[in-house]
Amino acid sequence: MKIIKLFFIIMLTLMFFACDSKNSIPYIDSNITTYHKVSSPIEASAFLSRATFGANEEEIKHLLDLGDYDKWFNEQFNAPISYHMDWAHSHAKGVNGIPDLKNNKEDWKRYSDALGYLQRDAWWDIAVNGKDQLRQRVAFALSEILVISRNGPLQNFPDARMSYYDILVKDAFGNFEKLLQDVTYHPAMGRYLSYLGNAKANPDLKSHPDENYAREVMQLFTIGLYKLNTNGTKKKKNGKAITTYTQNDIRQMAKVFTGLSDDNGDFNAEAYFNNFHARTAPMVAFEDMHDASQKNILHGRKVIPSNGDTKTDINAALHILFMHPNIAPFISRQLIQRLVTSNPSPAYIERVAKVFINNGKGVRGDLKAIIKAILLDKEALFSKHNPKTFGKFREPLMYVSHLFRAFHAKNGEHILKQEDTELYKYNSFNFNGTGMMKQEGPLEVLTVFNYFTPDDAPSALKKYGLTAPELEVYGKQGIDDVLMGLITKNEFIYKLFNITAELELHKEKELIHAKKYDELLDRLDLLLTAGNLSKNTRKAIKEYMQKHSTLDDDTLARYTIGLVITSPDYALQR
């Protein structure tokens, strides 16, 4: 089946014109308190598209039965946590005489090439089937801000990557300062940004501390390049944006992040990452390698006193960044972009930033409060029709997770191999098609700047001052080929990637068989597009179904789903 390849251009236009003015609703006055009731299945579906890895029929009904977003949040905040390392150790059953992974953790290194695929398999199973959907969705958003990747020095260490991801999972509902500390001390981050084994300056060797993490912890993880107002707009002096730090500040901050290495008892480079514990336990301090001199940072206005030990200095520096006025709008905007809309209004950013600053109980950085503020803001719940720039393009990865969740994909038995050696047996979707999605997989970005940056957009949108970060990973043809291969169970695609995912389409086939095309489109509009399937798209798809009514029920059901999910109405999440 041939799917239109030019929908990329249509989507750009849709960002402006998706809204029919006669159907628009008034913008909610800023003085009205946050709305907490769930009013309709469409509203529930739209909310779940932001707060989970994709809505499905059961969860829409459950949210409606609860009738209140607060009850749903309380359930999610208290749901048992799905850890990726636990999944790996409980699922990877050894074959071919190889012991179960949980009983021989040093095999993480021995079979590191193969276990990189197990990392993906664990992520996909938890993203699709995990009951702690909100926690997992937030953790993925955080992984696109506090970035490490398989591509780089962590390529051969899947256990380090999974352990790091579990830090994001654990801290997703905690405090941002604690998250920042845990990220900083994790050996995966230490190795990825080259401060693991970072020694103080040695005049005899003419060496100086590595500046990599010192730079990125400021530029990407906390405060950004320019001073911001609480609403996310740049502060200016004489018409120019004001920088938050200088190159000298980076040099001073680099001194802070000296003296850490993995927990193997040795600072020597050759000993790095030589066992499972060293790759997954927090880094430890080697005081003789730490620069204990005074550090003056942030234009010299903040001082870290001399004679502090490694952790005292590091925690002091992280606290300074955590207390910086920029961090609230800088992080709030990115989380809004990842969950709700690419172009939040300054007022929206400011409302969330104020919650970051104070959760109402005097606590700064409370991620539970921040996430609720983002998802329950009036701009999130009521702005799908107005303004027209509301919404975000779905990431390619989210297409697949939603497809699997909406149609209850079942996984199958998979034998993990390294070359020709069979290693472990477990059930998975075995979806490893990230190469056709410009490498968008969990922890598989090409650089520390993520798959896209917060200000990315095609030139057609930039000239209007708009961003559309996700479009950077759509590629020349989007993900049509692999997506339609999954939907139609294309033999070539399934064989190419050894995919085991099986979609359940009983209801859809029943409606096709009964020629209840409008009812099927209503169902798909609810599950997939949250009420945003346009009249023109709906009309075109119905005409297609009528014209191809002689196809068997399964084939026509799959083609119909494909037409909806590759449409611009689906691509733009609203």
High-pLDDT (> 90) share of the chain, %: 81
DSSP-derived secondary structure for 134-203 = HHHHHHHHHHTTS---SSSTTTT-HHHHHHHHHHHHHHTTSBHHHHHHHHHH-HHHHHHTT-TT-PPPBT
- Where are the extended beta strands (E) located within 50-148? 93-94
Q: Identify the band that residue 472 occupies on the pLDDT scale cut at 50, 70 and 90.
A: confident
pLDDT of residue 26: 33
Mean pLDDT of all residues in the chain?
A: 91
How far is the C-alpha of 106 from the C-alpha of 479, rounded, in Å? 37
Mean pLDDT, rounded, for 277-306: 96
Q: Considering only CA atoms, which of 398, 400, 434 is closest in space to residue 150?
A: 434
**Residues β-bridged to residue 422:** 417
Name, in order, each residue with C-beta under 8 angstroms of 505's C-beta and a sequence gap of 6 or more: 407, 554, 557, 558, 561
CA distances from 144 to 8, 176, 517, 519 (A): 23, 15, 39, 38
**More confident: 23 or 565:** 565
pLDDT of residue 7: 45
Break the chain into its structural domains and give their ranges. Answer: 191-323, 505-573
Is the pLDDT at 530 greater than 80? The verdict is: yes
**At residue 9, what are phi and psi to the nearest 5 degrees?**
-65, -40
pTM score of the predicted model: 0.94
Locate 122 and state its tokens: 């664990």
**At residue 351, what are phi and psi to the nearest 5 degrees?**
-60, -45
Name, in order, each residue with C-beta under 8 angstroms of 560's C-beta and a sequence gap of 6 or more: 508, 512, 520, 521, 524, 541, 544, 545
pLDDT of residue 394: 94
Amino acid at 254: A
Answer whether the bond into residue 209 is a cis peptide, omega within 30°. Answer: no
pLDDT of residue 272: 78
Cβ-in-10-Å burial (0-12, 13-18, 19+) of 557 comes to buried
pLDDT of residue 269: 66
pLDDT of residue 385: 58
Amino acid at 386: N
Q: Which range, 433-437, 476-480, 509-513, is most confident? A: 509-513
pLDDT of residue 497: 75
pLDDT of residue 474: 79
pLDDT in tens, 163-215: 999 999 999 999 999 999 999 999 999 999 999 999 999 988 889 999 999 99
Mean pLDDT, rounded, for 91-108: 96
Q: How many CB atoms lie within 10 A of CB 436?
A: 20
pLDDT of residue 14: 46
pLDDT in tens, 6-50: 344 444 444 443 443 333 333 333 333 455 899 999 999 999 999
Q: How, if at all, do strands 302-304 and 295-297 pair?
A: antiparallel
Place of tokens 């009420």: 531
CA distances from 62 to 38, 45, 57, 69, 132 (A): 11, 11, 9, 11, 14
Place of tokens 């490694």: 310
How far is the C-alpha of 322 from the C-alpha of 284, rounded, in Å? 22
Cβ-in-10-Å burial (0-12, 13-18, 19+) of 476 comes to exposed
